[in-house]
Amino acid sequence: MDKAVKEVFNEGNLRANAAYQAAKRNITIDPITRLEGHGKVDIYLDEKGDVERAYMQVPELRGFEVFSLGRPAEDMPQITSRICGVCPTAHHMASTKCLDDLYHTQPTSAGRKIRELVYNTFVLEDHALHVFVLGGPDFIVGPEAPPAERNIVGVIGKVGLEAGKKVINTRKRLRELIAYFGGKVVHPVLGLPGGVSKRLKPEDRPKFQELAKDGVEFAEWSNAVLKDVLLKNEDYVAMIKSEAFTHQTCYMGMVDDQNRVNFYDGKLRVVDCTGKEVCKFTAQQYRDFVSEHVEPWSYMKFTFLKDRGWQDFAEGPDSSIYAVGPLARLNAADGMATPKAQAAYDEFYQVLGGKPVHHTLATHWARVIEMIYAAERIEQLINDPEITSEAIREVPTKTPTEGMGVVEAPRGTLFHHYQTDERGVISMANMIVATGNNAARIAMSVERAAKGLIKGGHVTEGLLNKVEMAFRAYDPCLGCATHSLPGHLPLTVNIFNHRRELYRQLRQG
């Protein structure tokens, strides 16, 4: 960031903070809150009292590069997986792939399959958690239901206790598979440059084959639950399709050589809002295609398509803003690599009126379609004769230099990039997380909600709910963007007048 921009930002931030402190009143503290104040939306009004700019602010990680400098590169899959308690396996895998590249090696065929098996298991587990416990309850229980019921307990009330047990048990068994290979779920120790650290013993395979079979059934059942809820309720469909939750941007997702969704490996493909391919590139080329923009009013970095240049938060066929995540992946691909997921994919686009789908709230359904793919892929891999091979690693022999690795984290594309000296000691480390990739589109959604509900300084009731829905739809991994464990999210909306003085503050949580 250049010096002038920093000065403008610092000065503005100081003033905003002073005003904020002066106006702070009766803040409710939840005893369960770990880190308070994550969901902060700042809205800036112009002289007429209309919205000039609104954005969501997320506390930023500090010190990742400093912490990494001087450490052996092979520690990075462990370090980066500890940054976030929500998707440790995604960081672990992106980092492991980064080490392959750094050491100029490739995993053995069996090593690669084990990685992909574990990775798809993680995606299935994480998506299931989201569908039934975190974001999905809004839909399964109902967006109008009191917040106290929009949780897993409410879901069980709706789908039944046996179904609830199915969710919890399946998740537990999936985590057992991850723990089998990674030692533990939250800080796995599986990935090594050139392969993995543990093989699958033939005698342990049957229980995972059983799990895979159940996993496919579980994913299809999840799809049926969601479809039943969504499609039988016209209000939901109308809400999904409403203007407030629709943005015409580009979409990025990883695809295999037939342009089908892949979470673990492939090229990154970007399509525009008409579905036309804009570019396709490897992890190693990411800096040629993706750039980061900084606005003076926020310390968030907004990624955009480099070729198209930063064009503000503009929508349409020339937009340089792209989204990532389940909906973006489905939009950026030509289809799914497994039959049941492909059938669900076809139905998705048929019901929602063709490709691409621009309705952010459709992400919930897209996520379930990805669960089917993940489960089918697990089944393919666990039944692959090579999965029990002993050739799980190729020990690297070349001198390390620079590496880049990318995976599709549950919430979207995740890049890792390291440089080292000839001993493999880190001299540069960078990453772009899913929420960073989505930051621009999240800002657009929050701004649209705010513009619709604030006119001439008058704030309409329901602003908080609407703003919250606008960003919750993206499942912004605040834990990841902040690089801390996720906490309670009491949404705070600060509204500043044209003199940047705090005009109103609204809280919910």
List residues near other proteins by CB under 8 A.
27, 29-37, 59-64, 66-67, 79, 82-83, 85-86, 129, 133-135, 147-148, 150-153, 156, 161, 164-165, 168, 171-172, 175-176, 179, 183-187, 468, 472, 475-479, 482-491, 508-509
In angstroms, the CA 147 to CA 141 distance is 10
**What end-to-end distance do the CA atoms of the chain give, in Å?**
34
Minimal distance in Å, beta carbon 33 to other proteins?
6
Q: In the complex with other proteins, which residue's Cβ is closer, 152 or 300?
A: 152
Q: In the complex with other proteins, which residue's Cβ is closer, 55 or 304?
A: 55
Q: In the complex with other proteins, which residue's Cβ is closer, 183 or 317?
A: 183
Long-range interactions of 88-92: CB distance < 8 A, separation 24+? 88/185, 88/186, 88/187, 88/188, 89/118, 89/119, 89/122, 89/178, 89/182, 89/185, 89/188, 90/122, 90/407, 90/409, 90/410, 90/414, 91/409, 91/414, 91/416, 91/431, 92/182, 92/188, 92/190, 92/191
DSSP state of 88: H
Q: Nearest to residue 236, comparing CAs of 98, 142, 134, 319?
A: 142
Q: In the complex with other proteins, which residue's Cβ is closer, 148 or 238?
A: 148
Minimal distance in Å, beta carbon 21 to other proteins?
9
Q: In the complex with other proteins, which residue's Cβ is closer, 75 or 228?
A: 75
φ and ψ at residue 49, rounded to 5 degrees: 85, 10
Minimal distance in Å, beta carbon 259 to other proteins?
30
Q: In the complex with other proteins, which residue's Cβ is closer, 137 or 193?
A: 137
Going 181 to 184 to 185 to 188, the CA torsion angle's sign is negative
Minimal distance in Å, beta carbon 285 to other proteins?
28
Going 461 to 467 to 473 to 477, the CA torsion angle's sign is negative
Q: In the complex with other proteins, which residue's Cβ is closer, 163 or 244?
A: 163
Minimal distance in Å, beta carbon 23 to other proteins?
14
Q: In the complex with other proteins, which residue's Cβ is closer, 134 or 351?
A: 134
Minimal distance in Å, beta carbon 151 to other proteins?
5
Q: Nearest to residue 94, comparing CAs of 416, 477, 424, 483?
A: 416
Minimal distance in Å, beta carbon 29 to other proteins?
5
Q: Is 375 exposed, middle or buried (0-12, 13-18, 19+ CB in 10 A)?
A: buried
Minimal distance in Å, beta carbon 366 to other proteins?
16
φ and ψ at residue 441, rounded to 5 degrees: -70, -35
